Structure 1
Amino acid sequence: MQERIIQCAVQEVETRGVRFTMSDLARRAGVSTKTLYAYFPSKEALITQVIEESIEDLRVSEDQILHNPHMDLVEKMKQLLALVPNSFARTDLRVWYELKRYYPQQWKLIEECNKQEWEHVRLILEQGLKEGIFRPIQLPILIQMYTGGIDQLIDQQIAGNHHMTIREALDAMIDILLGGVLAPAARGEGDK
């Protein structure tokens, strides 16, 4: 039952954001609110559980990407940088903003994950340097750019003009981080 409630909570987040009520969730799960509170004493506890499970899934996905023999290093780098807690991957930036604003304790879990999950990126960078795929960079600067970029995307919600999912926003940011803004011809690469 607990897992069913969590799955229904993820569906609520995807459709309503984090502003769903426990009554909304109880209806979706087909249980009474009393039953819901028997499993989760508060909405905060439920959101914490959803985030913690999503972060564990994220760590498993990181290991799978790192050890996938069918992916080249560039694809591994893109995939690693695009990982976000699964339960929130299809939500738009507004949901991330609401989570950050209204659930600061739960938001800290995501912030800590963003700060700690760089070991796989470092390994891919080092391997790519040896193979001549990546150029030398300052990893702390990349981390600051990435985490700062995410914070700005969420805080500004791209000025409310676009309804992007966090995944779409990250893909756009990663494209710029890895490819830069210069066209190949301007970088002296011709038609490469």
Structure 2
Amino acid sequence: MDEKIYFKVLKLFGNKGTRFTTDDLARELGTSKRTIYNYFASKDEIIEKTIGFVFRDMHQADERILKDDSITLPEKLKLVLENIPDAYNLGAIIRHKDDLQRFYPNLWDEVNKHLNEAWDDLLELIEVGIHEQELAEVNTEVLRLMLNEALRKLLDYEYLAQKSFSFESGMKAMYDIILYGILKR
């Protein structure tokens, strides 16, 4: 039932931001508030665990990729780059960042922490590739900055609407640039 709860919270969060109620969640789940409070102590905890759910899945998939010795370094890079949380799930949280910052600043800090750590596995893989001389030497801190800022911008629905492209196409363009560069092949 946990995943079902998290997906319903994300749906409510996407529609109402932090203003959804436990009554709303109970209605979505077809259960009672009391049942919800058997799983969570508070609305804060509901939001906090939902945020954790979104990022935990991504990190676990990255770990599986990194530990698989049958996958080559270029394949691992591609798979890790493609392994970004679904735009809707992550976007539902980011879209209401103003509410999170104002009403739940500790949870917004948690989102930022996760966003800043989202690239750790990829950068570790790149550093291994650099060390083993399979990849060109790059400044991974600058790369982290580029990835962080690009991800945040690609999660901004107003920006995407203005530029007329999707989160998915923006992410694909970003990882194509990272993997293949800008020089003609």
TM-score under structure 1 length normalisation: 0.72
Matching residue of 2:58: 58
Structure 1 window deviating more from structure 2 (5-14 vs 43-52): it is 5-14
Query: Is the contact between residue 5 and residue 29 of structure 1 (CA under 8 Å) also seen in structure 2?
Result: no
Alignment of 1:37-186 (within 5 A): 37-85=37-85, 89-91=86-88, 94-104=91-101, 105-129=106-130, 132-155=133-156, 157-161=158-162, 162=164, 164-165=166-167, 168-184=169-185
Q: Provide structure 2 residue ranges, at least 5 long, that are not aligned to the other structure.
A: none
Q: Report the identity percentage.
A: 25
Sort the Cα spacing of 1:56 and 1:12 in 2 relative to 1 into closer, same or farther, 3 A. Answer: closer
Q: Distance in 1 between matches of 2:111 and 2:81?
A: 14
**Deviation string, structure 1 residues 108-137 (Cα, Å, up to 9, x no partner):** 223212323555334422332355542110
Q: Residue 103 of structure 1 aligns to a residue in which SS?
A: helix
Number of paired residues? 177
| In structure 2, C-alpha distance between the alignment counterparts of 1:58 and 1:82, rounded to whole Å | 10
Distance 1:119 1:151, change over 3 A: closer
CA shift in 2, pair 1:122/1:93, >3 Å: closer
User: Aligned partners of 2:58 and 2:160: how far apart in 1?
Assistant: 28
> Is 1:8 matched up with 2:5?
yes
Paired letter, 1:151:
R
Cα 1:75–1:110, aligned 2, differ >3 Å: closer, same or farther?
A: farther
TM superposition shift of 1:44: 3.0
Partner of 1:17: 14
The 2-side partners of 1:9 and 1:119 are apart by: 24
Deviation at 1:68, TM superposition (A): 1.3
Unaligned runs of 5+ in 1: 185-192
State the superposition RMSD in angstroms: 3.1
1:36 CA displacement: 2.3
1:12 positional shift: 4.8
**Aligned residue number for residue 30 of structure 1:** 30
Deviates most, 169-178 or 146-155: 169-178
